[in-house]
Structure 1
Amino acid sequence: MFTGIVTGVGRLAGRMPRDGDLRLEIATGSLPFEAPQLGESIAVNGVCLTVIAFDAERFHADASTETLALTTLGALADGAPVNLERALRADDRLGGHLVSGHVDGLGRVEAIVPDARAQRWRFSAAPALLRYVAKKGSICVDGVSLTVNAVDADGFEVALIPHTVAHTAFAATGVGDAVNLEVDLVARYVERLLADRAGPPAA
């Protein structure tokens, strides 16, 4: 599990094709990377990846065909900045919201508008994802926990404070760019529980 509080910005240092999928090399950049372990989970732009090799400044992780199809990782250019977060420890503060690192789908930046010292960002998303997005609820965008300020049939809006822009890959993100979206876990489970309560459809 993760919190959506990005703790470092790294970059895609390399991509190696492996029998139809990819092995990614991620330079850790500003991520605190003390005592890494083989098999630990790191969120890369909101995608939970497993560390299969590492040194003091980078790690390698495999991206399956499913991951490449449902996220932006397969389209990243070499050198592209990426948001990084190591997995939540039991004694960590939960500063954002519970994030699994399992991306639900893609969104796209539709507008970036100054709003005092902050910026108001609008994202488009598929109706199948927007049904889980609620005003003042949480959503994870490229691994960043954000509060939804507005939502309608075509997309949603969030406000990014200067600190968030300066300390995440949003500093290099622009209108038209695709982003990874993970909706609130609670919304997904509530839907499943309500569906079970409703029972099977009538014959």
Structure 2
Amino acid sequence: MKSLRRFCGDAAGLLFVFGFAVLRPSRFWPPKWMLRRIAASAEVRAERKAAEEKLLTRVREIEAGVPWLRALDVVIRDECVDVRGHHISLFEANPSTRESMRCRMSAFIVFSPDRDPEDAVAEIRRTFPPPDGLSADGISESLRWDTAERKVAPNVASKAVRTRVTRRHGEKSLGQLREEHGVLCMWALYGQTYFTVV
């Protein structure tokens, strides 16, 4: 009976240590309301404005570099995402450096070519190629188009604390643009994280 009691005590102790390691208060701090307040602060707004200007500068370069590309819409998606659930590890070297929130902005140029989309994208890559890897401004780019299996759409974060979407050409959905113009292409510009909360 004594050994059973000792075993139960040891098991309870291990469960407590495991629970504290995984569910320690730092995993829940700061609370979401504080993350939302940080995301709306003057410091983050200044970083957000600088990130948006970088993206819009690149959008203007693309539009000047591909004269036949007529944007049906330019979508700017700004998100601050709670990333705490992304790092569950008991053996992390320095758990105090883990992040709570990342703010990132991306731009999506939506257009419909007057030819086969694969040919249009091939011409862009030949005459005005997107950079390989990250550009000097830390922007990663990709070109995609509608296929039978998958339609283009801006990426959406699942745990956004704050989201702001701005559109150059009004509020028509991608579905409405497809009905009016046919197959859509999307030139995606993914900016690096512009603000981080640890």
Bigger helix fraction: 2
Same fold? TM cut 0.5: no
For the pair shown, the structure with the greater C-alpha radius of gyration is: 2
The TM-score normalised by the length of structure 1 is 0.26
The TM-score normalised by the length of structure 2 is 0.26
Bigger strand fraction: 1
